Amino acid sequence: MKRKETREEAVKIAYSMDINKNYDKMGINQYVQHFELTNIDIEYLEKTIGDMIDNLEKIDQYIEENSKDWKITRIAKVDLAVLRISLSEILYNKSIPESVSINEAVEISKKYSKDDSHKFINGLLGSIVRKV
């Protein structure tokens, strides 16, 4: 599975963790085994989800501070998962260019979220990158 597809799986894991309020790194392996994902970039998946879990408070703070008058609880769960994975890459994985992380987040949101969500995600991530 290519990085793009693995990134989508990371968003699905982040979404599931948020819905279940269970941010346990063991959930990564359970997810991979349950869906029999044999051809994924497991190193990327573990790093990205691990960084998200380890830095969730800081990532959420970036989201809330830059989402003008929107509390994090008002952001759609899918959009929140996309933002968290993208920020995990932007802030903690310097091998991935910021523009790639933002572009992939926009594409994933077009596929899984509401019609205009990609605009919100693009604007929010752009704002955060400019400040970081």
> Residue 4 CB: number of other CB atoms within 10 A?
10
Query: What pLDDT sits at residue 1?
Result: 55
Dihedral sign for Cα atoms in the order 119, 96, 4, 47: negative
Please name the helix (run of DSSP H) or strand (run of DSSP E) that holds residue 114, with its range, or none. Answer: none
Mean pLDDT of 38-46: 91
37: left (phi over 0), alpha (psi -120 to 50) or beta: beta
Instruction: Report pLDDT digits (tens) over 72-105.
Output: 999 999 999 999 999 999 999 999 999 999 999 9
Q: pTM of the prediction? A: 0.94
Query: Is the pLDDT reported for residue 69 higher than 80?
Result: no
Sequence-ordered list of residues with C-beta below 8 angstroms from that of 20, at least 6 positions apart, any chain: none
What's the whole-number average pLDDT of the chain?
93
Instruction: Report pLDDT digits (tens) over 49-59.
Output: 999 999 999 99
Domains and CATH numbers, the chain: 3-131 (1.10.940.10)
